[in-house]
Chain A
Amino acid sequence: MSNPRSIIRWISAAGGILSLCAGLAVLVAPPIGGALHWPWDDEILLVAFFVVVFVIAGLLLPFVLLDDSDRADRTPPEPIPSTPPPGRGLEHVLDRRWLLSLPPARRHRVRGGLRRTTIRTIVRTEGCATETARDHLADGTWTDDPVAAAFVRPEPESDGSLLRSLRERLYFTRRARRTARAVLMLAAEDARR
């Protein structure tokens, strides 16, 4: 009881209990209510009291509406750091189910990456030099899939026609997917040998 906070708590609790008893007494015995007189008749005091309690209630309201009492429960008990798998960027391009139009720079990067992968896979699987692999790429003999062969073949500069550009944009993902499958098949055949 030596703690000042405890003393204040007990005084407040006692005051509350006395108020409750007084209120109940007024309810059950109306003559007591008649004996009790409202101490102030000044309406300004009443309005001021109302304004003060209304402001306090208004300030408390957001804390009730935006309750954060469950904050501790949101801590995940097994927080394995979220790390993506290797190839997530390429996965976003190759494994989409809906039609995707990529910006030219991104298409250029994806095509260049698949071209390098194809060359390196040919070098590894056939044990040849990089130049030989480039020749295979140029003549398209590395795969039976004409779409994949055409996708990674070094091509002359585009003629810039609108139709060609539109086709390139629309069919890019499908062609990239065919190429990825062809390169993976090349590596799988080597692994089986």
Chain B
Amino acid sequence: MTARRTTRWNSALIAALLTSGIGALVADPTLLLLSIPPVVFAVYSHVPASPATTLELERSCTEPAPSHGQAVEVTVTLKNAGDRTLPNVCLVDGVPPMLSVTDGSARHAAALGPGDKTTFSYTVTAKHGTHRFRPAAVVLEDISGSVAVETNVETETELACRSPVRTATLEQIAHRYAGSTITVDNGHGTVFSTVRSYQPGDPQRTIDWNRYARDRELTTISFRDERSRATLLCLDAREVCYRSDSSDEPHAVFYACTVARELLDTIATANGPVGLAVFGTKQRYITPNTGAHHVETIRQTLNDPKLLPLEPPNRTRPGDTDELPIRPLRTRFGEASILLISPLLDDSPLETARTLRTDGQPVTVISPAVTATRSLGTAVAGLRRDNRLGALRRSNVTVIDWDPETALETAIRAGANR
């Protein structure tokens, strides 16, 4: 909360000072008398007490879980819970950064007596993703308008425009070319692998004694280990990805986070090991694992505004490389299926995916389409993205081209069946 004195009455004070000063200098009583009204006004501005921040906010949405593109009416009720009148209350509601107001206004002003309420509504158009309302910014002024108190009034409201992946399986999405399990033929696992003739030095516990009893032949049974193949969600959140097809649409990084959250839920439901790699202004790696606590850690990482800010980061300095690093994906996550979520607006993700695929690593690219066709320049950018998608398909990389106007699952099924 910050309180500041406005400059509304400074003109009266200046007039009072000048008339009284000149009146004193020239010893003119008329001028001195003329200074009395401005003095009264100047004093008046100091008489009222500062307004108290005794506000309570309630916010409700007609549809807390809307579908993409659906209009949602937001109703805000502001109550003066104190025992003093608030003569001038101006409020700007904390509309989530990725939603735009399509009808009405998120601003409101009222005078509130003790216990009074004021209500206003506006309409936003829902977009994919989970949108949290920010605190409403309130400016309170006293009756003279000489003191303004700026404060935030908070209430938890969330608009979850989900696009869940229910029917597409993890095998269709991530393990298409590799299978969902990894086999380690180390002889010590639990799954039967091979039978061979006994060789001196084989442990006694691996000898098939039943067969020896039956045929008098010594054979050794070998076992292998099988474990679920891990999935690594890779988010391309570099500065070049902060692009959107129009000024009132979310950018590609926001959509990439939305995809990652939905896929995280799908993988968590299947109890598969999942990890995270974020390539943005900072890099973050979470090694694949299972369990509710691990999934929650990834979810919180995806919500971290320092790692994945909604505002586009500053451009990288000239000379800084803005490439997707391939080495950690090769060395740290060599056995994992890579789910690379990128809008494919430059060649770096294309080269990374192709190199990993050449190495034999399963790679799926999920690309939110944020290209526009409003001009020749943007149409060429769209064509370049189409060419990158084509190049990935020719390299046996599973490609899911997601138009955010459609459901994510539809795009996944179309990409997996292609």
Q: Which residues of A contact B (CB under 8 A)?
A: 6, 9-10, 12-13, 16-17, 19-20, 23, 26-27, 33, 38, 46-47, 49-50, 52-54, 56-57, 60-61, 63-64, 67-69, 72-73, 75, 77-95, 114, 117, 120-121, 123-124, 177, 180-181, 183-184, 187
Contacts and interface: CB of A to CB of B under 8 A. Distances in A.
Contact of A77 (B43, B95, B98, B383): B95
Given A57-B18, A73-B90, A6 B49 contact: yes
Contacts of A95: 375-377
A84 B21 contact: no
B312 A81 contact: yes
B150 A80 contact: no
Contact of A80 (B93, B97, B372): B97
A6 to B, nearest CB: 7
B218 interface: no
B52 interface: no
Given A72-B139, A75-B92, 17 more contacts: A53-B18, A53-B20, A60-B14, A77-B92, A77-B95, A78-B100, A81-B242, A83-B244, A83-B251, A85-B372, A86-B243, A86-B378, A87-B378, A88-B377, A94-B375, A120-B384, A123-B391
B40 interface: yes
B24 interface: yes
A54 B101 contact: no
A33 B32 CA distance: 13
A44 to B, nearest CB: 11
Instruction: Determine which residue in A50, A69, A81 has the highest number of CB atoms from chain B within 10 A of its CB, and name it.
Output: A81
> Binding site of A, secondary structure by majority: helix, strand, loop or mixed?
helix
A106 B386 CA distance: 24
Nearest to B254: A81
Interface of B: 6-8, 10-11, 13-14, 17-18, 20-22, 24-25, 27, 29, 32-33, 36-37, 39-40, 43-44, 46-47, 49, 90, 92-93, 95, 97-101, 105-107, 137, 139, 148, 150, 242-248, 250-251, 310-312, 343, 345, 370-372, 374-387, 390-391
Contacts of A121: 383, 387
Contacts of B17: 53-54, 56-57, 60
Contacts of B242: 81, 83
18 contacts: A12-B43, A12-B47, A13-B44, A46-B24, A46-B25, A46-B27, A50-B22, A53-B18, A60-B17, A64-B11, A77-B107, A78-B106, A80-B100, A86-B378, A86-B382, A87-B384, A121-B383, A187-B383
A85 B21 contact: no
Contacts of A87: 371-372, 375, 377-382, 384
B387 A117 contact: yes
B359 to A, nearest CB: 21
A180 B97 contact: no
Contacts of B40: 16-17, 20
Contacts of A180: 376-377, 379-380
B346 to A, nearest CB: 9
A141 to B, nearest CB: 19
A10 B46 CA distance: 10
Contacts of B246: 85
Contacts of A38: 27
Contact of A75 (B29, B137, B384): B137
B377 A69 contact: no
Given A75-B92, A80-B97, A87-B378, A23 B36 contact: yes
Contacts of A120: 384, 387, 390-391
Given A75-B92, A77-B107, A80-B100, A181 B311 contact: no
A54 B374 contact: no
B184 to A, nearest CB: 39
Contacts of B11: 64
Nearest to A121: B387
Given A46-B27, A50-B22, A86-B371, A124 B14 contact: no
A121 B380 CA distance: 11
Contacts of A20: 36-37, 40
B378 A124 contact: no
Nearest to A68: B7
A54 B18 contact: yes
User: Counting chain B CB atoms within 10 Å of each CB, which of A33, A46, A73, A80 scores highest?
Assistant: A80
A114 B381 CA distance: 10
Contact of A67 (B7, B384, B386): B7
Nearest to B388: A120
